[in-house]
Structure 1
Amino acid sequence: MSITPTDHAVRTLKDGYWDHTALVRQPDGSLRVRKSNKHPTTTSGPWGTESLRREIRYLLDLSPGDAICFPSVLHHWDTLGDADAAVGYEMPYYPTHRDAGVLAREEQLDQAEIDRFQDQLADLLFGHVHVPAPTAESLSRHFDQAVTRAFEGLSADPMLPRLLDAERLTLNGTVMRGPRAAWQFIQHETDMLAELDQEPGVRLHGDFFLENILWRPLSLHDQSATPALIMIDPVSVAGISRGPALFDLVKYVSYASGELLALRSEWVELDGFDATTADPVFSYRIKWQAPGLRPFQNRDWHSRFTSAYLDHHGVWDRRRYALIDGYFSAAMALNTRGHQRQARLLKATLEFNRVLGLAV
């Protein structure tokens, strides 16, 4: 399908690393949301265009019963090709719904409504998204390639070799392996990666953050049949849409606890990157007292959902949780800069050592 040339962009809704989402007005005056890849494709990262293709296929392949969780695809296009492909789709605009990330950051909901949100989110995710789905691709191979590639790319940053190449280091007062050394131990001396492929797979949301969930606040009355909760932007930027259910929980809690926002906003205290001493000693701490994180301390956006996860999926392996969390941190360190990059790499170091039982 071709791109409609006669509509008008009203405003940008999200300017992502690899894609752009905007509110557009159609020739008949109606509004739609358009998501498209960025150009030139050199700015869209190693996965951007193909991930958007997978996102479109994900939405088109949903059964009618499961499609209630997501927006419908009103129009989509793909000019094919790798170097200059134009890929995107349009979905309905929901004027009474709000990005749950904004609702959390601005403390727009009381705890009772947040609890209702978490209950409904759990019902929809576990009942309509987390259905059995064998993983077509090796998740362990993807993790291995993604983390190895991240460390190779990060080695070009002159601030990082002291951390990356350390066999042993001290982080927050605890002696542990350096990030590359810890990852190589996980690769060759444990079964953690192989066990990822043996875990029963489900269909995932894949990019399960609060900002990818729309909620219609109870204060905004709507007589239409539109659901109060709608998930958007499925499939991870690396194209993952099937795997262990824990994948979605790790992402959800990272944002809902405030940790991911702290990393993105560089509300962190870091030390050790400018040191000239022989022994690599680092520290990493989130500034939980930062004003922007207070909403996540005043309201609880994740405990009720986590409890529902336990009821549905059972207790998770803490080492596997740390492995997934470390993978996210390492992969995103490559795609960020400055203190955010350093903080994400230190977090990856901590998580990989938790896998090995060397950190708490």
Structure 2
Amino acid sequence: MSIARAEGDWRGVMRDVRVSGSRVTKRATHGRDKLLREVAWLKALPPRAAERFPRVLEVRTGADWAEYDMDFCPWPELSRVLVDGTLTVGEAVGGTRSIVAFAFDVLYADHHRPAPEGFFHASYVDKFWRRASAGRGLSARFDRLCAAGSLEINGRLHRSAAELVRALERDTELLARLNPPRVGRFHGDFKFDNVLLEPATNRFLLLDPRGSTVTGDADSDYLEDLAKLRTCTRGLYDLVRAGAARVTEGIDGLSWEWALWAKPALERFAALDAWLSEELPARALARGDTDWRVRWDFVTPLLLLANAPFQLAPVNPRTEDIALVLHATGVRLLAEALERHGTRNAEVRP
């Protein structure tokens, strides 16, 4: 059974958010249909799940736009307080524990069905190729990094993203393990920049649910959400986006150092990554998911690689640095996953 593509334009929803008194209005012009799928998803949530998402107050549409109103929430964005040092390590772990517990105990607790044949390839591998193609030509710096046959990343040599993905595609036994046993309700963009958190109480609100997968399905692998979270804890997405990486480019490689101000945040993200790695085994095995680690290890870098060209809007030195570091991090993690899970000739070379 094949899965049709329904991602639409690779840049997603072009939207603006406005605050007026006690209301927030989220508007989309390009990406109108995606916004309406988000609204439909929010309205269909069961009551226990809906408590942790914005309440849709009013929806307005036009021929080429859509918008909806939600209640204003004064809590800070979790990404910001993780990066700027407002949260302690204990508060960061406590807040994340509450969010992950809600996801497993409520959001993922019902509405399951067998995963379609070819789900992993259509959702993550095909998406990588589409994003790589669509991003070509936007930035000479990014093109040069992607076109290199091998990449030296912080002093270690790796094969290119394209070569690593081709190695994955050749391993049919591994691909079979990567298809999840079931799909169900999911958030779709489960990252810290889509969470509002009240640190004193660990109350939170989840923003910007996707409403559907890149193939147009309403259901996905729950590990996609946890892999999105791992792009933050291990891929350091929030710090990269904050401009904390000081990039140096070579002929066929890239290196970076972290700004001094980022050191406390690096410690917080390391603690979160350690906690997440300890928490997930019992959660996944309770669902009878024995291959969860394999999928987690591959979905995380594929999401980073697909996200990297998305950052090139607009193209400037800052967004290029972000795209370069996210791409290189994706290459490193994908090489490690291939080495760990048995694909030949995909090892990391010193």
TM-score of the superposition, structure 1-length normalised? 0.74
Amino acid at match of 2:37: R
Q: Which has the higher contact order (CA 8 A, sep 6+)?
A: 2
Cross-structure match for 1:228: 203
Structure 2: distance between partners of 1:263 and 1:133 = 35
Structure 1: distance between partners of 2:325 and 2:80 = 23
Q: Give runs of aligned pairs for residues 88-167 of structure 1, distance below 5 A.
A: 88-95=67-74, 97-131=75-109, 132-134=111-113, 135=115, 138-156=119-137, 157-167=139-149
Cross-structure match for 1:10: none
**Residues 230-282 of structure 1: CA distance to partner in whole angstroms, max 9, x if unpaired?**
22211289657632222222222332468112322343344445x2xxxx4x2
Would you say the 8 A contact 1:164–1:178 is kept in 2?
yes
Amino acid at match of 2:67: G
Unaligned stretches of 5+ residues in structure 2: 1-11, 313-319, 340-346
Amino acid at match of 1:50: D
Structure 1: distance between partners of 2:182 and 2:213 = 20
Larger Rg: 1
Per-residue deviation, 1:59: 0.7
Would you say the 8 A contact 1:140–1:194 is kept in 2?
no
**Residues 321 and 285 of structure 1: is their aligned pair in 2 closer, same or farther, counting only changes over 3 Å?**
farther
Flag the structure with higher helix content: 2
Would you say the 8 A contact 1:168–1:175 is kept in 2?
yes
Cross-structure match for 1:335: 310
Structure 1: distance between partners of 2:83 and 2:165 = 34
Structure 2: distance between partners of 1:286 and 1:245 = 33
Per-residue deviation, 1:190: 3.8
**Residues 200-220 of structure 1: CA distance to partner in whole angstroms, max 9, x if unpaired?**
22322211112222222428x
Would you say the 8 A contact 2:189–2:228 is kept in 1?
yes
**Residues 168 and 108 of structure 1: is their aligned pair in 2 closer, same or farther, counting only changes over 3 Å?**
closer
Cross-structure match for 1:52: 35
Per-residue deviation, 1:150: 2.1
Return the match for 1:294 from 247, 255, 264: 264
- 140-149 vs 187-196, which moves further: 187-196
**Residues 125 and 297 of structure 1: is their aligned pair in 2 closer, same or farther, counting only changes over 3 Å?**
same
- 55-64 vs 65-74, which moves further: 65-74
- The question of 1:35 aligning with 2:26 is answered yes
Per-residue deviation, 1:144: 2.8
Structure 2: distance between partners of 1:215 and 1:163 = 37
**Residues 121 and 169 of structure 1: is their aligned pair in 2 closer, same or farther, counting only changes over 3 Å?**
closer
Structure 2: distance between partners of 1:272 and 1:32 = 45
Would you say the 8 A contact 2:230–2:300 is kept in 1?
no
Would you say the 8 A contact 1:122–1:309 is kept in 2?
no
Q: Give runs of aligned pairs for residues 1-360 of structure 1, distance below 5 A.
A: 18-25=14-21, 31-37=22-28, 39=29, 41=30, 48-79=31-62, 84-95=63-74, 97-131=75-109, 132-134=111-113, 135=115, 138-156=119-137, 157-218=139-200, 228-235=203-210, 239=214, 242-256=219-233, 259-273=236-250, 275=251, 280=252, 282-287=253-258, 289-297=259-267, 300-314=271-285, 318-337=293-312, 338-357=320-339, 358-359=347-348
- 345-354 vs 294-303, which moves further: 294-303
TM-score of the superposition, structure 2-length normalised? 0.76
Cross-structure match for 2:344: none
**Residues 269 and 76 of structure 1: is their aligned pair in 2 closer, same or farther, counting only changes over 3 Å?**
same
**Residues 181-228 of structure 1: CA distance to partner in whole angstroms, max 9, x if unpaired?**
221221233444444434322322211112222222428xxxxxxx92
Unaligned stretches of 5+ residues in structure 1: 1-15, 26-30, 42-47, 220-226
SS of the residue corresponding to residue 66 of structure 1 reads: helix
Structure 2: distance between partners of 1:112 and 1:168 = 40
**Residues 305 and 147 of structure 1: is their aligned pair in 2 closer, same or farther, counting only changes over 3 Å?**
closer
Would you say the 8 A contact 2:185–2:220 is kept in 1?
yes
Cross-structure match for 2:9: none
Corresponding residue pairs, total: 313
What do you get for the CA RMSD once the two structures are aligned? 3.2
